Structure 1
């Protein structure tokens, strides 16, 4: 399968000649962070990461994401971390959009190139380094693992989008498909990171309203997305957060595929906080 390309932010600063009006939206039900806001002045440095900066596009926060955080990492040649994850119960997924990194876990090295996916279990002691000659950019999704007595923690996984045939959604003639990196029936996993693909003109033809929280980063193409009561235009590089039960639908705008990296929490009981 031909290697795909993915949008990756490169920072910089919007010139003074530009209008300030943009597409950023922040509500109680959803948020849209457009690609133009990934500037140098909002990048973060992280402890124990060398030659690295990050754009933190989601984090647990009152009125915002509740179950996950999502970073866009930019690691220069020679950079990386031998202590990347500060929380012992945190699991992670890396998805590479540009360059390459080497992830070491359980004594084995795994090279991730564009489209590369890594699932990293909690307390697995993984490390990551850019051993190449070009700057690497990748998504890092973090979630506190919800342990269940009698169910094992998932094993590490190393896969690539380019090697997996998307699964068409029923009765869509292939216009709507999902690339799955883990088996949806595997109850060891309490989060799924997938890639959703729409052909030009494809749609979610009803307002999805469900318990799963979502993070959506547009990897390719453009669409009009229904978020709660609003229709918004999104394109490659934009990020959307949807709280649980936020209605959603979309139309892919063409002329090429519309693809996004999707986070959702799955396979666990709803906690009864007030019991």
Structure 2
């Protein structure tokens, strides 16, 4: 298996000599947040987290994407939290870009390294502690878990991308692969966070148009990505945010692999609201 590389933000602030022009865009169907946008001036902080800052990539917005939030967390040495999640309804996925930290779930310790992946069910007791000498950076994806009568909640688990064999997409000669951390048919899970890999020259050969909302963080490489009616050039560190039914496709022109971390909501009925159209 090839060695994996994950782009991670370092912060800072652009010099006054920089041009204002950038690739950032927000439409009613999609948003692109280029890596150059993620500077110190747009960081946030969270209650009950020490020596920690974050970049907010996505949050529920009425009329856009409504199911999830996504952060890039930066935790300095000795930083972390013993009360990381304040909403007992929220499930979470952590994916490590850089550095190491100790993740404790229900009293069980896990040393998280780059490529590390953790699923944390709602109402879990968990904590994060950076026990190393350098900052650690990781994605934190949160969603309100949708309970279904007769279906139990999924258990917590921790793994690493290097321990999960990617699945080739049909008829692609192994050039388009998906690393799945849970069984797609497991009805306990109402969201999937996967890694999608395209070898140079690989494509999504049709405009995917579907109900799932997406968050796509480019881990490695560059490509041109079709978003609604536009072809947009993206590179490692960029983030794409898609509402439901936004057409999408991809062409990975190389020279190296193109890889991204992908969120989507799955395996639940569509909410119909109340009679008269109010929700």
Give the TM-score taking structure 1 as reference length: 0.98
Alpha carbons 1:195, 1:261 under 8 Å: kept: yes
Name the counterpart of 1:4. 4
User: Is the Cα contact below 8 Å between 1:91 and 1:143 reproduced in 2?
Assistant: yes
Give the conservation status (yes or no) of the 8 Å contact 2:76–2:135. Answer: yes
Deviations 1:9-46 (A, max 9, x none): 00000111110100001001000000000100000011
**Structure-2 separation of matches of 1:194 and 1:273:** 30
Deviations 1:198-255 (A, max 9, x none): 0001000000000100000000000000000001000000000110000000100211
Q: Which runs of 5+ in 1 are unaligned?
A: none
Q: Please say if residues 194 and 261 of structure 1, whose CA atoms lie closer than 8 Å, have aligned partners that are also in contact.
A: yes
Query: C-alpha displacement at 1:3, in angstroms?
Result: 4.0
Going from structure 1 to structure 2, the CA distance change for 1:225 and 1:2 (only over 3 Å counts) comes to: closer
Q: Deviations over 1:68-99 (max 9, x none)?
A: 00000000010000010010000000000000
Matching residue of 1:98: 98
- Counterpart in the other structure of 2:155: 155
Partner of 1:249: 249
Matches within 5 A, 1:258-273: 258-273=258-273
The residue matched to 1:41 in structure 2 has which SS? helix
1:205 paired with 2:205, answer yes
The number of residues matched between the two structures is: 275
Give the whole-Å Cα distance in 2 for the aligned partners of 1:64 and 1:243. Answer: 5
Alpha-carbon RMSD across the aligned residues, in angstroms, is 0.8
In structure 1, C-alpha distance between the alignment counterparts of 2:214 and 2:110, rounded to whole Å: 28
What is the DSSP-based 3-state SS (H/G/I as helix, E as strand, rest coil) of the residue aligned with 2:41?
helix
Partners of 1:205 and 1:61 in 2: CA distance: 30
**Dislocated runs of 4+, deviation >4 Å:** none
Partner of 1:80: 80
- Output the CA distance in 2 between the equivalents of 1:105 and 1:226: 39
Partner of 1:56: 56
How far apart are the structure 1 equivalents of 2:252 and 2:75? 32
Report the Cα distance in structure 2 between the residues aligned to 1:18 and 1:226, rounded to whole angstroms.
28
C-alpha distance in 2, partners of 1:60/1:265? 13
> Alpha carbons of 1:2 and 1:255: their partners in 2 closer, same or farther (altered >3 Å)?
closer
CA drift at 1:63:
3.8
Cα distance per residue 1:133-161 (max 9 Å; x no partner): 11100000000000011101000010101
1:64 alignment partner, SS class: coil
- Which residue in the other structure is 2:193 paired with? 193
Aligned CA distance change for structure 1 residues 181 and 56 (closer, same or farther; 3 Å): same
2:36 is the counterpart of 1:36:
yes
Does the CA-based 8 Å contact 2:65-2:244 persist in structure 1? Answer: no
Other structure's SS at 1:196 match: strand
- Give, in angstroms, the shift of residue 2 of structure 1: 5.1
For 2:3 and 2:79, the matched residues in 1 are separated by: 25
Q: TM-score, normalised by structure 2?
A: 0.97
Preserved contact between residue 178 and residue 197 of structure 1 (Cα < 8 Å): yes
Match of 2:216 in 1: 216
Matched, 1:240 2:237: no
Aligned to 2:19: 19
